[in-house]
Amino acid sequence: SSAPPATVDKEAGLTAPVARTRVPPAYPAEARDAKVQGVVVVEAEIDAAGRVVDARILQSPATSLANAALEAI
Protein backbone atom coordinates (compact mmCIF):
# COMPACT_ATOMS: atom_id res chain seq x y z
CA SER A 1 0.00 0.00 0.00
CA SER A 2 1.15 3.54 -0.61
CA ALA A 3 1.38 6.24 2.01
CA PRO A 4 -0.74 9.37 1.79
CA PRO A 5 1.05 12.32 0.22
CA ALA A 6 3.14 14.44 2.54
CA THR A 7 2.25 18.07 3.11
CA VAL A 8 4.94 20.13 1.39
CA ASP A 9 5.40 23.89 0.98
CA LYS A 10 6.99 24.06 -2.46
CA GLU A 11 7.04 27.87 -2.42
CA ALA A 12 9.29 27.77 0.65
CA GLY A 13 11.62 25.31 -1.08
CA LEU A 14 10.55 22.35 1.05
CA THR A 15 10.39 18.85 -0.34
CA ALA A 16 8.69 15.72 0.91
CA PRO A 17 10.75 13.72 3.40
CA VAL A 18 12.23 10.38 2.38
CA ALA A 19 12.92 7.68 4.96
CA ARG A 20 16.65 7.01 5.35
CA THR A 21 16.05 3.83 7.30
CA ARG A 22 12.97 1.78 8.07
CA VAL A 23 12.54 0.33 11.52
CA PRO A 24 9.68 -2.15 11.69
CA PRO A 25 7.73 -1.75 14.92
CA ALA A 26 7.83 -4.59 17.41
CA TYR A 27 4.53 -6.45 17.51
CA PRO A 28 3.40 -6.17 21.14
CA ALA A 29 2.71 -9.53 22.81
CA GLU A 30 -0.55 -8.11 24.18
CA ALA A 31 -1.77 -7.31 20.66
CA ARG A 32 -0.56 -10.64 19.26
CA ASP A 33 -2.27 -12.60 22.05
CA ALA A 34 -5.52 -10.68 21.47
CA LYS A 35 -5.13 -11.13 17.68
CA VAL A 36 -5.25 -7.36 17.20
CA GLN A 37 -4.10 -6.21 13.80
CA GLY A 38 -4.50 -3.17 11.62
CA VAL A 39 -2.91 -0.03 10.34
CA VAL A 40 -1.48 2.71 12.56
CA VAL A 41 -1.45 6.16 10.97
CA VAL A 42 1.21 8.52 12.34
CA GLU A 43 1.67 12.22 11.60
CA ALA A 44 5.26 13.35 12.10
CA GLU A 45 7.09 16.66 11.98
CA ILE A 46 10.57 16.37 10.47
CA ASP A 47 13.26 19.02 11.02
CA ALA A 48 15.69 20.28 8.38
CA ALA A 49 18.25 17.65 9.40
CA GLY A 50 15.73 14.87 8.79
CA ARG A 51 15.01 14.07 12.44
CA VAL A 52 11.51 13.40 13.75
CA VAL A 53 10.84 16.22 16.21
CA ASP A 54 7.18 15.49 16.90
CA ALA A 55 4.85 12.60 16.13
CA ARG A 56 1.28 11.79 16.97
CA ILE A 57 -1.11 8.97 16.27
CA LEU A 58 -3.99 9.81 13.95
CA GLN A 59 -5.50 6.34 13.87
CA SER A 60 -4.81 2.99 15.53
CA PRO A 61 -6.80 -0.15 16.28
CA ALA A 62 -5.15 -0.48 19.72
CA THR A 63 -3.06 1.58 22.12
CA SER A 64 -0.35 -1.08 22.21
CA LEU A 65 0.10 -0.88 18.42
CA ALA A 66 0.15 2.93 18.56
CA ASN A 67 2.86 2.86 21.23
CA ALA A 68 4.93 0.38 19.20
CA ALA A 69 4.67 2.62 16.12
CA LEU A 70 5.83 5.69 18.05
CA GLU A 71 8.76 3.76 19.53
CA ALA A 72 9.83 2.69 16.03
CA ILE A 73 10.12 6.27 14.84
d(CA 64, CA 56): 14
* Distance from C-alpha of 60 to C-alpha of 40, rounded to nearest angstrom: 4
- Least Cα distance to 66 among 57, 16, 21 occurs for 57
pTM for the whole structure: 0.72
User: 12-70: per-residue pLDDT in tens?
Assistant: 777 777 778 888 899 999 999 999 999 999 999 988 888 899 999 999 999 999 999 99
Question: What's the pLDDT tens digit per position in 6-25?
Answer: 566 667 777 777 778 888 89
Q: Which pLDDT value is given to residue 7?
A: 62
Q: Which of 22, 19, 17 is nearest to 7 (CA)?
A: 17
